[in-house]
């Protein structure tokens, strides 16, 4: 009689110091050999109490903290906060201010997606795309630096407009970047999209069905890769997005491969928006005068905008004083991380790395 081989489940720690967790996330995995039976994310390693700190600061002082809320797309976080404050007190932003916001927001989306396109292959073992994408990202950083003097935390979008006007050399530099960018995107695609190793590693891995998208409130490119056609820029237009002509890239399979391609195509569409905005950039004021001790009307408001990681919303409660009564910021990553344990059950550890990277999860957005 053959003796049955007894196996035992193993509990393994992934993180908090792990290069593929994009920050400091701890995943407690229950493994049967290499197969994941259970996955339990532990968060809070980067809890910086940004929401609580905002309650002790004036509205203008909150904007630099919102930069640190999600540092890959700081402009978006500035914008989401200012959008909420403006909605509460009915401030109309001047035309040029709106156009500059769109230009900066879309360039920042490209910069964030470039990090994604560079880092995701690195998690799967390909180091080369990282060097190419960061080469183009430096050009965008140069544009931001000549505009607001910072490379990562901008504090550029203010309540009622933007902080500074663009310098005269911005527009030729930006056009130069847009001209070469299409060719560079094709380079990234040549490196990865038809690469058999990349396809074997990503195609059909970590499928998110449209039902799962609705269940876990997954938003942004990760939702659109599953074929859910929802983009706040189109469905609930804010600012001046209804004036631009752009498409929403959609995926069909909802696997890691599609999530990557959707983001690559989104960079193309963002470049289109920036080009159109540069063409129609009007002259005039960039900011309405808002008092330093800005007091919005009492009330509560939720404003949302499309971030590179999903829906970025700010819920703002004001009691009419110079400081916000309560701020609640919502980032897309939190819902994405919740869905990860559901997706990875029954897959291998190597797939978990690919899935985690392809969802573009970033930890400060979760821990806040």
* Least distance from another protein to the Cβ atom of residue 267, Å: 17
Residue 65, interface with another protein (CB under 8 A)?
yes
Report how many residues bind another protein under the rule CB under 8 A.
36
Region from 135-143, 200-208, 284-292, 337-345 binding another protein, contact rule CB under 8 A: 135-143
Q: Do 39 and 28 touch, CB atoms closer than 8 A?
A: yes
Q: Residue 224, interface with another protein (CB under 8 A)?
A: no
In the chain, at which residue ranges do the beta strands (DSSP E only) sit? 10-14, 26-32, 35-42, 157-158, 161-162, 299-307, 310-318, 326-330
Q: Rule CB under 8 A: is residue 40 a binding residue for another protein?
A: no
d(CA 90, CA 124): 47
Could you say which DSSP state residue 168 is in? T
What mask of x and - would describe binding to another protein in positions 306 to 335, judged by CB under 8 A?
Answer: ------------------------------
> SS3 of 359, please?
coil
Tell me the three state secondary structure of residue 86: helix
| 329 in Cβ contact with 69 (< 8 Å) | yes
What is the DSSP track for 233-260? HHHS--TTGGGS-------SS-SHHHHH
**Residues 106 and 114 sit within 8 Å (Cβ to Cβ):** no
Q: Confirm or reject binding of residue 171 to another protein (CB under 8 A).
A: no
Q: Which residue lies nearer to another protein by CB, 15 or 161?
A: 15
Q: Which of 41, 97, 105, 118 binds another protein (CB under 8 A)?
A: 118
Which of 224, 207, 238 is CA-nearest to residue 269? 224
Window of 30-38, 124-132, 273-281, 291-299 that interacts with another protein by CB under 8 A: 124-132
CB neighbour class for 17 (10 Å; exposed up to 12, middle 13-18, buried from 19): exposed
Q: Does 68 participate in binding another protein (rule CB under 8 A)?
A: yes
SS3 292: coil
Q: Does 230 bind another protein (CB under 8 A)?
A: no
Q: What is the DSSP string of 134-166?
A: HHHHHHHHHHHHHHHS-SS----EETTEESSPP
Task: Say whether residue 180 binds another protein (CB under 8 A).
Answer: no
Residue 13 interacting with another protein (CB under 8 A): no
Binding pattern for the stretch 347-366 against another protein, x by CB under 8 A and - elsewhere: ----------------xx--
Q: Which listed range, 13-21, 230-238, 243-251, 322-330, lies at the site for another protein (CB under 8 A)?
A: 13-21
Smallest gap, in angstroms, from Cβ of residue 163 to another protein? 17
Nearest-CA neighbor of 129 among 222, 74, 197?
Answer: 197
Applying CB under 8 A, which part among 68-76, 186-194, 240-248, 275-283 lies near another protein?
68-76
Q: Give dist(CA 255, CA 238) in Å, integer.
A: 30
Instruction: Work out which of 53, 217, 250, 275 binds another protein, going by CB under 8 A.
Output: 53
Q: Which of 89, 91, 126, 132 binds another protein (CB under 8 A)?
A: 132
Question: Which of 30, 95, 126, 130 is the binder for another protein (CB under 8 A)?
Answer: 130
For another protein, the binding residue among 32, 138, 176, 319 (CB under 8 A) is 138
Most distant CA atoms of the chain, gap in Å: 89
Residues in the site for another protein, rule: CB under 8 A?
Answer: 16-19, 23-24, 44-49, 52-53, 56, 64-65, 68, 71-72, 115, 118-119, 130-132, 134-135, 137-138, 141, 151-153, 363-364
């Amino acid at each position: 009689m053959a003796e049955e081989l007894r196996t035992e489940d193993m509990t393994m720690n992934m993180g908090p110091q792990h290069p593929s967790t994009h920050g400091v996330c701890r995943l407690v995995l229950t493994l049967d050999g290499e197969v994941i039976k259970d996955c339990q994310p532990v968060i809070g390693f980067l809890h910086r109490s940004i929401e609580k700190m905002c309650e002790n600061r004036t509205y203008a002082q909150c904007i630099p903290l919102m930069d640190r809320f999600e540092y890959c797309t700081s402009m978006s976080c500035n914008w989401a906060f200012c959008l909420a404050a403006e909605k509460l007190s009915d401030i109309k932003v001047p035309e040029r201010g709106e156009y500059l916001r769109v230009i900066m927001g879309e360039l920042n989306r490209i910069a964030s997606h470039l990090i994604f396109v560079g880092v995701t292959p690195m998690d799967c073992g390909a180091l080369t795309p990282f060097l190419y994408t960061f080469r183009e990202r430096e050009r965008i950083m140069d544009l931001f630096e000549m505009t607001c003097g910072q490379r990562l935390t901008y504090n550029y979008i203010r309540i009622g407009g933007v902080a500074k006007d663009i310098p005269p050399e911005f527009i030729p530099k930006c056009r130069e970047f847009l001209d070469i960018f299409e060719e560079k995107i094709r380079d990234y695609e040549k490196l990865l999209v038809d690469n058999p190793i990349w396809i074997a590693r990503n195609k059909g891995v970590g499928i998110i069905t449209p039902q799962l998208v609705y269940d876990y409130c997954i938003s942004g490119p990760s939702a659109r890769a599953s074929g859910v056609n929802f983009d706040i820029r189109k469905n609930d237009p804010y600012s001046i997005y209804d004036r631009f002509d752009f498409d929403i890239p959609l995926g069909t399979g909802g696997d890691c491969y599609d999530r990557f391609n959707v983001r690559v195509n989104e960079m193309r569409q963002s470049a289109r928006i920036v080009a159109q905005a540069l063409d129609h950039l009007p002259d005039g004021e960039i900011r309405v005068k808002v008092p330093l001790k800005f007091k919005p009307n009492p009330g509560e408001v939720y404003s949302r905008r499309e971030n590179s990681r999903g829906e970025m919303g700010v819920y703002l409660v004001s009691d009419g004083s110079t400081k916000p009564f309560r701020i609640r910021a919502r980032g897309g990553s939190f819902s994405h991380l919740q869905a990860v344990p559901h997706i990875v059950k029954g897959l291998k550890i190597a797939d978990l790395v690919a899935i985690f990277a392809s969802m573009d999860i970033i930890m400060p957005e979760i821990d806040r």
